[in-house]
Amino acid sequence: MSDSTTWRNILSVSDFRKLSNVRCLISIALQSQYSHSQKYQQLAMLFNEELDASPQLDYFFQKILNPATSQGVFLDWWGRRVGVNRNLVIDNVDTRLDDELFRFLIFYRAVVNVSNSTSATINKLLTKLIGLPAFVNDYQDMSINIRIVGEPTSVQIAILKNYGLLNRPAGVLANVETVTPSNLVFGFFGQKLLPFNQGVFNPSKTIEI
């Protein structure tokens, strides 16, 4: 907004051919017979300072129109546009997400809304959402299984449960498991894992969504 062509910032004009007078920096808002009058120039400057809405338009764009910089209730408005709400119940406590996390979810949901539903896409989106490796198996029977390697936080689990951000294909079941590798895992000798009758194949738990 600050680069808009006004009589005070003529030096920032990109195409001088569009101006009526390029031989001087006198405002084109003043008629030529008055353009050298200091009083008229001061009066024009006063009007410009009082009437120029550029600062307000800049503020409006940054705080309201631009989701990358908007804040507070204006960010809530953007959340409603894409279908997310910043209020969540986490561990039975009403929680309000801060602006930065909520902004991330807004952009994430916007991407989900226009992306396809392939397993590869879900893998990438979930991995970015929770910061942990995520893998999707499509059983081709209207159900999918999502396995997360690691332990999501309570906030991430609440997001998975409430926001519908899985971008899953049309179906009837989405099962989510978390796998936390530990020394209880069954494996081969020399790999610091446990042998038969001691280790387990699948040390996982299910997240109900």
Q: What is the pLDDT of residues 147-169, one digit of tens each?
A: 888 888 888 888 887 776 665 55
CB proximity list for 166: less than 8 A, separation 6 or greater = 122, 126, 146, 160, 174, 209
- Give dist(CA 108, CA 115) in Å, integer: 11
**CA-closest candidate to residue 47, choices 58, 59, 39:** 39
**CA-closest candidate to residue 6, choices 58, 69, 56, 48:** 48
Do residues 130 and 178 both lie within one domain? yes
pLDDT of residue 76: 93
Q: What is the phi/psi pair of residue 8, to 5°?
A: -90, -20
Do residues 122 and 45 both lie within one domain? no
pLDDT of residue 111: 87
pLDDT of residue 121: 85
For the chain, what is the domain count?
3
pLDDT of residue 12: 62
* Regions in the chain scoring below 70 on pLDDT: 1-35, 48-52, 164-172, 181-209
pLDDT of residue 184: 64
Task: Note down the domain range covering 96.
Answer: 67-114
Do residues 44 and 102 both lie within one domain? no
Strands across the sheet with 204-207, in order?
134-138, 143-149, 173-179, 204-207
pLDDT of residue 102: 93
pLDDT of residue 27: 58
* Model pTM score: 0.61
pLDDT of residue 140: 78
Do residues 191 and 153 both lie within one domain? yes
**118 three-state secondary structure:** coil
Where a domain ends, among 90, 114, 138? 114
